[in-house]
A and B are shown apart, each in its own frame.
Chain A
């Protein structure tokens, strides 16, 4: 029996990615990173800014996401996200711009703790890519 499952990543504009030969996916869930294998229990969770790592037969891929919702059901992992980038084609300038925006956001005095936490996560992730 193969231990592969299906993954679908959609953003509002299009279906971003669809793969059928995935062995493992690690997502930055809100309460900590979460690895998903085949036959995982049905789950709904949401994401914080971070890196999605997809281990597939065709190789490993990494994506940067800012937010999202994941749903795992019947061996299909659906990820809805409004902002996603493939780490492979990310450009240095774009990265710096994102980092600058995130830092600005986290340094705003009047934001709530939760937003501050999310912004800090963003900064940390972007720095680790850099």
Chain B
């Protein structure tokens, strides 16, 4: 069973972001709320990596990396199914890739 992608939100100022922190990078308030994202989003940019950086990733190449705008208002980098293009509506979750948890998106 795949896990959900998570994100953070600042209760006082409403700012939403992806990189995990113990405070809000916009207003500095402590204890942001960590939530599960729906996984729904839109592809903002795509690249197909042919030249991988490490031996374990070379085994997977070529692979598709995407920037996705999640419906909750944050942007993240993830793996995606081949053929994704800008504007595609996608659904994502955490999957295991090269032995580690990786956010992965498919066409919705």
Q: Do A and B come from one complex?
A: no
